[in-house]
Amino acid sequence: MELVEESPFRFRIDRRDPMRVPGVVFASRALLPDVGSDRSLEQVANVATLPGIVGASYAMPDVHWGYGFPIGGVAATDVAAGGVVSPGGVGFDISCGVRLLATDLDRADLPRLRDALMDGLDAAVPRGMGRGAVWHLADPAELDAVLRGGSRYAVERGHGVPRDLDRCEDFGAVADADPAQVSERAVQRGQGQVGSLGSGNHFLEVQAVDAVHDEPVAAAFGLRAGQVVVMIHCGSRGLGHQICTDHVRAMEQTMPRHGIEVPDRQLACAPVDSAQGRAYLGAMAAAANYARANRQLLTSAARRVFRRVAGSGLDLVYDISHNLAKIETHGVDGVDRRLCVHRKGATRALPPGHPDLPADLRAAGQPVLIPGSMGTASYVLTGVAGAPAFASTCHGAGRVRSRSQAMKTVRGQELRRELEARGIAVRGASWRGLAEETPEAYKDVTAVVDVAEGAGLCRRVARLVPLGVVKG
Partner DNA sequence: ATGTTC
As annotated, the active-site residues are 395
Greatest distance between any 2 Cα atoms in the chain: 64
Interaction between residue 198 and DNA (CB under 7 A) = yes
Site for DNA in 370-429 (CB under 7 A): 399, 403
Residue 201 or 366 having the CB closest to DNA = 201
Q: Which of 107, 237, 322, 395 binds DNA (CB under 7 A)?
A: 237
Contact region for DNA (CB under 7 A) — 51-59, 163-171, 198-206, 272-280?
198-206
**Beta carbons of 384 and 365 less than 8 angstroms apart:** yes
Q: Which of 8, 111, 130, 140 binds DNA (CB under 7 A)?
A: 130
**Beta carbons of 325 and 284 less than 8 angstroms apart:** yes
CB of 196 to DNA, least distance (A): 8
Q: Which of 167, 241, 326, 460 binds DNA (CB under 7 A)?
A: 241
CB of 179 to DNA, least distance (A): 18
CA distances from 56 to 18, 205, 216, 264 (A): 14, 35, 34, 18
Letters for 62-101 (x = contact with DNA by CB under 7 A, - = none) are ------------------------------xx--x-----
| Residue whose C-alpha is closest to residue 99's, from 266, 314, 257, 249 | 314
CB of 406 to DNA, least distance (A): 11
Q: Dump the DSSP string for 43-76.
A: HHHHHTTSTTEEEEEEEEEEEE--SSSPEEEEEE
Site for DNA in 324-353 (CB under 7 A): none
CB of 308 to DNA, least distance (A): 27
| Residue whose C-alpha is closest to residue 316's, from 171, 449, 107 | 171
CB of 304 to DNA, least distance (A): 23
CB of 445 to DNA, least distance (A): 14
Residue 367 or 433 having the CB closest to DNA = 433
How deeply is 355 buried, as exposed, middle or buried, from its count of CB atoms within 10 A (0-12, 13-18, 19+)?
exposed
Distance of CA 181 to the CA centre of its chain: 23
Q: Dump the DSSP string for 378-417.
A: EEEEE--TT-STTTEE--SS-B-S-HHHHHHH--HHHHHH
Query: 361: alpha, beta or left, given left = phi > 0 and alpha = psi -120 to 50?
Result: alpha
| Residue whose C-alpha is closest to residue 393's, from 288, 286, 320, 443 | 320
Letters for 151-190 (x = contact with DNA by CB under 7 A, - = none) are ----------------------------------x--xx-
Residue 55 or 396 having the CB closest to DNA = 396
Site for DNA in 247-286 (CB under 7 A): none
| Residue whose C-alpha is closest to residue 117's, from 284, 302, 332 | 302
Contact region for DNA (CB under 7 A) — 57-65, 196-204, 251-259, 302-310?
196-204
Hey, is 131 helix, strand or coil?
coil
**Beta carbons of 77 and 272 less than 8 angstroms apart:** yes
CA distance 96 to 288: 8
CB of 224 to DNA, least distance (A): 30
Residue 199 or 227 having the CB closest to DNA = 199
Q: Which of 77, 103, 151, 193 binds DNA (CB under 7 A)?
A: 193
Residue 200 or 282 having the CB closest to DNA = 200
DSSP bridge partners of 99: 232, 319
Q: Which of 107, 202, 247, 322 binds DNA (CB under 7 A)?
A: 202
Give contact residues for DNA (rule: CB under 7 A): 92-93, 96, 129-130, 185, 188-189, 193, 198-202, 234-235, 237-238, 241-242, 399, 403, 437, 472
